[in-house]
Structure 1
Amino acid sequence: MKKFGISRQALVAAVFGAAAVGTLVLSPKIFSPEAGAQPIAIEAPGGAPLSFADLIERVEPAVVSVNVVSEREVGKLADMEQFFEQFRGMPGFDEFLQNRKQQEEDNPEPETQEARSLGSGFLISKDGYVVTNNHVVENATEIKVTLKDGRELDAELVGTDPQTDLAVLRIKEKGTYPYVRFGNSHDLRKGDWVIALGNPFGLGGTATAGILSADGRDIGAGPYTDFLQIDASINRGNSGGPSFDLNGNVVGVNTAIFSPTGGSVGIGFAIPAELANEVTQAIIKDGRVSRGWLGVAIQDLTADMAEAQGLKDNEGAIIADVTNGSPAEKGGLERGDIILSVN
């Protein structure tokens, strides 16, 4: 599971900011409603489940644990100098360093060692195609998936797309497997329930529940993904697992967490279902994802820009630059053009 840290300065600012808000005294006069105005109130939603057990029971057979053996390069001496500093002065340590340095000079080829990692995935077809994260199976030499019934089956890598951190596997053993389908994350609203299933810390068959906290999140993990933010608990090992809506449709592929501690703090990120579906189908068909190139740099269209152009609203994007010789230049696009839709 990928993590995103937070600086000490940001934490201090957040703590003092919260403290400042906490000590602020609000005047009732300032916040009193205008004459005749009514406070916002709604009826409690009906039909919400008292338990997610039926949903989980139906979809869980399609969720798998992914066990990976990979070859990873052993750290060079130069990369470990900061770690070794704490052992300076210990008897025999300088001799150890000298011997290690000599070994690296005698064997310039990088040394590798076997590594094992865990992740999650889910079946999307009856013939055994499995979706997971690219970072779960990266550099894999052996992949096995464990089904709900306890069977551990060999799987082969069909293809990956590092730019969206998605990968597709296929179970080698022929058979008919339970599978789930992708839904549409656009049908979710902030506050809707989501259920995450996966293999956190090797504890397969784990389910957690939460809500869609936000959508359209940019976490700096590539140019193609606006992540869903969910507060259902996801941890190391949940990577590649599904998040479901209450109809049992996959609405996201759990991929990353934001965590100052290394564990879940209620801020997780999932790849939206519609993007995951498009990418995985391309991988199944061609073994890879091919992307077109337009050759423009764009930026958000602000309200001031829209007003200057005589537009009613600021929907769309403005072209900030056009690459020489690009398809965009050949097609007649120019700097300052405003893109309202894409065919």
Structure 2
Amino acid sequence: MLKIAKVKSCAVLGLEVYPVEVEVDIGRGLPSFSIVGLPDKAIDESKDRVRSAIKNSGLEFPDRRLTVNLAPADIKKEGPTYDLPIAVAVLLAGGQISEIAVTKDDIFIGELSLSGDLRPVSGILPAIIAAKEWGAKRIFIPENNLEESKLIRDLAIYPIKSLENLVDFFRAELFIKPVFGEGVNNIEDIVTEYDFAYVSGQESAKRALEIAAAGSHNVLLSGPPGSGKTLLSRGLPTIMPPMDEEEILEASKIHSVAGLLHRGDSALICARPFRSPHHTTSSVAMVGGGTWHANHSKTAKLPFPGLPAL
């Protein structure tokens, strides 16, 4: 049994991703479970999720003093994405997973339910892009996050259904076929509810929008209610060039962080995004952001993508 186990994960802060090392120490003393390393409330609550998930997966939770460190400690950790790496590190430190089964090039991301099933999380796409840049060989993610992860080539992605399945995989009792992303290929023709061709009349406005689309200019439409401003604006993306792979990845990454990607066959953002804010929307709500200070205080709120980003 290892006294200290280490596995790798990542922290998604806004649109930036940072490597995180999850360390678990099993020591002598009264049974306890503490998490350090600037965690937020969701991570603090993961103690109960991890404990129940391990027990309900037919595994043994160590009845000793457990200390979990999320390094580096100066970066705020937020959300339930650390449930899976914490559980793996606990099982690794307790000897229930062989230390040779988990390599230094493995990355774990995922939220655990009390039954041990993995639930999808936001920000998978930027996390996988960063993992590839760091030289990761394998990344273990929730099964329901698989579609958006297929955008990244040359990385072995393991879709995991439950903690029990993952442990069986490490014990060579279950085979999980890795998925290698295909990139942005075979994009079907985009079917949109609004099309620029649907607008009848308004020739001057359509001419202005065509010039704006051709030259990437700003344009201001002004007129009485019902004159077609919104319909013209909604149809504008249909006369613009299709998004290339870099633009699709960038748009999909932003929507992934914001939790706006559909988890299914249509995980990609292939159409140029359109946003129609209400006229009473404040400038702060439109621009987005938050109080993310240099000292990374525990009460700071991470920047959230605003309308310009989406």
Instruction: Indicate the structure with greater strand content.
Output: 1
Instruction: Indicate the structure with greater helix content.
Output: 2
TM-score by length of 1: 0.20
TM-score by length of 2: 0.21
